[in-house]
């Protein structure tokens, strides 16, 4: 199981990095989101993939799952949800304002701006 | 258990939420936010005295015992930074009453500032690595919104870069947390320190330490600072001041905390790396500051260069250097906020950010000019002012441990910063006054009044460094001996 | 968004929205010891509202649920914060929870937990944030 998880984490990271290196803003947002998912999976795998009941003592179960990584992942998912949403809204607004989602154009304009301010 | 430890986190959170309800009542918002930061300052002073008397205060949140639950730890270092952050934010808020337009104020400006403060204070006080991540994110999310608030084209461009960089580094942060949890089975910082001391800091753990170094360096602007000067120049002065004073320092705090408390075993690898990065930061940041003609960019590079200096002390990590680092960190938060605020007044008054288009401000508003000069000299580290003791201790510490390159870098930094700031003074303040002034601008006095307290602190901190020193030494003492921190966390 | 003429979607959503809302409610209450909880229930509720917005239009959602979502977020945060802070007044550490068993009419012996109030705050905050974001993007064309 851990090996599969490791491979999937690797694939997700690769896809995420590929997307971040493209020019389109929307793809970059998706790339960051994918990379965050990869990290969540990594967290899950690093804590050991094992089954078991919720760690409540009075239910007559013997095997318990480690609740901490799940709590961490849930927190991280919530944070990622917020940031991705914000990033998307911002990209949309930036598209409205700057009329482009192409990072190259964004950068060239900003370097021109920098040249002007120098 | 001391519930007051949570107060510096709770006060800004409550204020932020309440201010959302009051988003149309500007006057009320202003007074509540100022009151809240002052209250926070008072609480921080109370905590400071308590910690000075009784040692480190902890709070096990929700009553879970330390390695299992999240613990808040108020040691002297954290409390000093919380106090400084509260003072700085009070002044920045007072400045923004005049310095921020109504449109921004209506769009939850004050709420966002308080959310950011909660994140900043939380990062200082937390004793848990994952909680540190959460507080970082709270701080960063508010900072994204604060940078883009107002929505000019430049702000959008810079915010997109800023968010992307920070999202990536946060991803790496969670990844390193995952590795650490896999290797040690804990995320409580004191417990991590214990476990790693037992297991020995093996190669993989040192690699994780290097990963964390990258993460915190991006946030602190240590070597990986390419995003900083642009992003910090985009928002209005009050926001830049808050960012320059607080955000990078939180990254710096995290670096100092992790590399003195947890990863101190393989100093040859990690601390040498930090030293190399610090020297590179000083050289690049210093020359960057010298080469620019845009006020905000000069200050941005100044922020970077000071981060380099503090990291030098971390690379040396002996008693004197760490004492110097804590002192300089406190000084730098105040001085950078002051410089950014004054630069805001300067830009508003001359209507340009480029110093070769200014000129003659000394004739026009001498008060601004002299305040700027004193702030600059303090950043440079001239003796009666607050930058001096910290810098002296850092250089003394590096000489003691025989790291002459590091000491030389510290001195080089002084020269470069002096040149860059005096350049602002010569080109911007001396010379003939330009005609094209901003005619609508009438009230720099009130803006200056709000930055006056910071000015006063800089002078007093320099003149009365001796009575302050015991507090600083208590902070650095706990940093150089991790067992103090660990015992305090596990004592209950 | 112009009012669509999508009869199937509109009629189906009229029913499905309530099923989703009921399931969200179930998730919210079951969250204490099993999968579920305020966050997921909040997303689910926001999803129901979004379905409504898709099949009719945003104005309809505004009419059906006349709330300012920013204020809803703030209210949620306030509830969550107050629950955590309430512990301070009993001399307990911050965020300490309490529970007890009560005899309620209809339900019989029920466990009531302060974590539920905290979760209610999370629930409201999540709905607020999600709807604010969706409306921000969806509003202008």
Cα–Cα distance between B135 and A58 in angstroms, integer?
34
More confident: B491 or A39: A39
**Within a domain: residue A37?**
yes
- Domain limits at A19? 2-50+65-117
Mean pLDDT by 10-residue block, N- to C-terminus, for chain B (492 residues)?
Answer: 87 93 88 94 94 90 83 93 95 88 86 95 94 94 91 86 92 94 90 90 90 93 86 88 92 94 88 92 91 89 92 90 93 93 87 79 82 90 87 91 87 89 85 62 73 90 90 91 90 71
* Nearest residue on chain A to B356, alpha-carbon basis: A118
Provide, as residue numbers in chain B, all residues whose Cβ is less than 8 Å from the Cβ of A40. 174
Contacts of C35 (CB under 8 A, 6+ apart): none
pLDDT at position C141: 52
Provide, as residue numbers in chain C, all residues whose Cβ is less than 8 Å from the Cβ of B6. 88, 94
pLDDT at position B442: 60
CATH of the domain at A84: 1.10.287.3510
Mean pLDDT for the stretch of residues A3-9: 92
Residue to test with chain B: of C70, C74, C86, C133, most B Cβ within 10 A: C74
Model confidence at A59, pLDDT cuts 50, 70, 90, reads low
More confident: A103 or B316: B316
* Nearest residue on chain C to A58, alpha-carbon basis: C33
**Within a domain: residue A33?**
yes
**Within a domain: residue A84?**
yes
Model confidence at A108, pLDDT cuts 50, 70, 90, reads low
pLDDT at position B438: 55
- The total number of structural domains in chain A stands at 1
Q: Is a pLDDT exceeding 70 seen at residue A2? A: yes
Residues of B with CB under 8 A from a CB of C: 1, 3, 6, 10, 13-14, 17-18, 20-21, 23, 59-63, 72
pLDDT at position B218: 92
Looking up tokens 């629930």 gives: C123
Model confidence at A116, pLDDT cuts 50, 70, 90, reads very low
Helices and strands of chain B, counted as H and E runs:
22, 2
**Within a domain: residue A60?**
no
Mean pLDDT for the stretch of residues A111-115: 48
The pTM is what? 0.93
CB contact under 8 A, C94 and B18: no
Q: Is a pLDDT exceeding 50 seen at residue A117? A: no
User: Please, is B333 exposed, middle or buried when counting C-beta atoms within 10 Å of its C-beta (0-12, 13-18, 19+)?
Assistant: buried
pLDDT at position B78: 94
Mean pLDDT for the stretch of residues A82-98: 88
CB contact under 8 A, C33 and A82: no
Q: Is a pLDDT exceeding 90 seen at residue A105? A: no
Distance from CA of A60 to the nearest CA of B (A): 23
Low-confidence stretches of chain C (pLDDT < 70) are 1-4, 140-141
ipTM field: 0.90
Mean pLDDT for the stretch of residues A21-47: 92
Q: What's the alpha-carbon Rg for chain C, to the nearest Å?
A: 18
Distance from CA of B181 to the nearest CA of A (A): 7
Model confidence at A96, pLDDT cuts 50, 70, 90, reads confident
**Within a domain: residue A12?**
yes
**Within a domain: residue A56?**
no
Provide, as residue numbers in chain C, all residues whose Cβ is less than 8 Å from the Cβ of A88. 133, 137
More confident: A32 or B361: A32
CB contact under 8 A, C94 and B21: no
Mean pLDDT for the stretch of residues A47-67: 75
Provide, as residue numbers in chain C, all residues whose Cβ is less than 8 Å from the Cβ of B10. 81, 85, 94
Of C33, C39, C136, the CB nearest to A89: C136
Cβ contacts from B onto C, under 8 A: 42
> Which residues share a beta bridge with B126?
B72
Residues of C with CB under 8 A from a CB of B: 70-71, 73-74, 77-78, 81, 85, 88, 92-97
pLDDT at position B356: 79
Q: List own/partner pairs for A45-50 with CB under 8 A and 24 or more apart.
A: A45/A2, A45/A5, A45/A6, A45/A9, A45/B178, A46/B178, A46/B179, A46/B181, A46/B182, A47/B178, A47/B181, A47/B182, A48/A2, A48/B182, A49/A1, A49/A2, A49/A5
- Domain residues of chain C, as ranges? 4-139
DSSP conformation letters of B272-298: HHHHHHHHHHHHHHHHHHHH--BHHHH
């Amino acid at each position: 199981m851990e090996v599969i998880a490791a491979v999937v984490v690797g694939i997700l990271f690769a896809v995420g990095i590929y997307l971040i290196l493209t020019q389109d803003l929307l793809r970059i947002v998706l790339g960051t989101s994918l990379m965050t998912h990869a990290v969540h999976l990594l967290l899950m795998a690093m804590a050991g993939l094992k089954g078991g009941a919720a760690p409540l003592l009075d239910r007559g179960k013997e095997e318990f799952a480690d609740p901490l990584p799940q709590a961490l992942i849930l927190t991280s998912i919530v944070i990622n949800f917020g940031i991705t949403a914000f990033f998307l809204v911002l990209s949309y607004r930036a598209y409205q304002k700057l009329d482009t989602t192409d990072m190259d154009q964004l950068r060239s304009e900003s370097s021109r701006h920098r040249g002007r301010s120098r | 258990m001391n519930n007051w430890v949570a107060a510096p986190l709770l006060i800004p959170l409550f204020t932020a939420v309440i201010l959302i309800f009051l988003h149309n009542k500007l006057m009320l918002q202003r007074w509540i936010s100022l009151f809240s930061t002052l209250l926070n300052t008072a609480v921080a002073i109370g905590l400071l005295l308590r910690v000075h008397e009784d040692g480190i205060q902890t709070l096990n949140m929700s009553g879970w015992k330390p390695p299992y639950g999240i613990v808040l730890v108020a040691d002297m270092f954290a409390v000093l930074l919380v106090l400084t952050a509260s003072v700085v934010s009070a002044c920045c808020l007072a400045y923004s009453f005049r310095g921020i337009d109504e449109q921004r104020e209506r769009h939850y400006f004050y709420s966002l500032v308080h959310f950011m403060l909660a994140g900043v204070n939380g990062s200082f006080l937390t004793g848990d690595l994952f909680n540190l991540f959460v507080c970082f994110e709270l701080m960063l999310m508010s900072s994204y919104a604060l940078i883009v608030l107002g929505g000019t084209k430049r702000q959008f461009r810079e915010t997109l870069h800023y968010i992307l960089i920070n999202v990536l580094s946060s991803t790496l942060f969670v990844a390193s947390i995952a590795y650490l949890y896999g290797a040690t089975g804990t995320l409580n910082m004191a417990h991590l320190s214990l476990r790693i001391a037992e297991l020995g800091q093996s190669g993989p753990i040192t690699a994780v330490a290097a990963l964390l170094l990258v993460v915190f360096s991006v946030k602190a602007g240590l070597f990986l600072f390419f995003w900083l000067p642009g992003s910090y120049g985009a928002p209005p002065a009050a926001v830049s001041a808050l960012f320059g004073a607080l955000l990078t320092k939180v990254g710096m705090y995290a670096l100092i905390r992790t590399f003195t408390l947890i990863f101190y075993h393989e100093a040859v690898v990690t601390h040498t790396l930090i030293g190399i990065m610090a020297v590179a930061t000083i050289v690049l940041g210093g020359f960057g500051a010298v080469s620019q003609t845009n006020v905000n960019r000069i200050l941005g590079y100044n922020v970077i260069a000071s981060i380099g200096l503090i990291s030098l002390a971390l690379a040396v990590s002996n008693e004197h250097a760490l004492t110097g680092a804590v002192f300089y960190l406190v000084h730098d938060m105040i001085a950078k906020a002051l410089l950014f605020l004054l630069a805001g007044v300067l830009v508003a008054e001359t209507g340009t950010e480029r110093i070769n288009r200014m000129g003659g401000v000394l004739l026009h508003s001498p008060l601004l000019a002299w305040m700027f000069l004193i702030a600059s000299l303090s950043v440079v580290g001239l003796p009666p002012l607050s930058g001096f003791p910290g810098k002296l201790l850092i250089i003394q510490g590096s000489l003691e441990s025989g790291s002459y390159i590091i000491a030389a870098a510290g001195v080089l930094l002084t020269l470069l910063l002096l040149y860059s700031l005096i350049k602002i003074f010569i080109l911007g303040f001396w010379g003939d006054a330009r005609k094209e002034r901003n005619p609508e601008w009438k009230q720099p006095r009130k803006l200056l009044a709000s930055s006056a307290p910071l000015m006063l602190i800089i002078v007093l901190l320099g003149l009365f460094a001796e009575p302050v020193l015991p507090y600083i030494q208590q902070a650095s003492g706990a940093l150089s001996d991790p067992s103090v921190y660990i015992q305090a966390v596990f004592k209950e | 968004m112009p009012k669509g003429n999508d009869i199937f979607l509109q009629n189906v959503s009229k029913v499905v929205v309530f099923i989703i809302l009921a399931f969200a409610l179930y998730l919210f209450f079951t969250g204490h010891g099993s999968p579920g909880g305020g966050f997921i229930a909040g997303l689910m509720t926001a999803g129901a509202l979004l379905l409504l917005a898709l099949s009719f239009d945003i104005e309809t959602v505004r009419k059906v649920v006349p709330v300012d979502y920013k204020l809803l977020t703030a209210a949620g945060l306030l509830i969550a914060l107050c629950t955590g802070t309430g512990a301070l007044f009993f001399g307990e550490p911050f965020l300490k929870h309490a529970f007890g068993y009560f005899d309620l009419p209809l339900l019989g012996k029920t466990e009531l937990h302060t974590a539920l109030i905290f979760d209610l705050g999370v629930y409201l905050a999540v709905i607020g944030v999600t709807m604010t974001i969706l409306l921000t993007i969806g509003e202008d064309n």
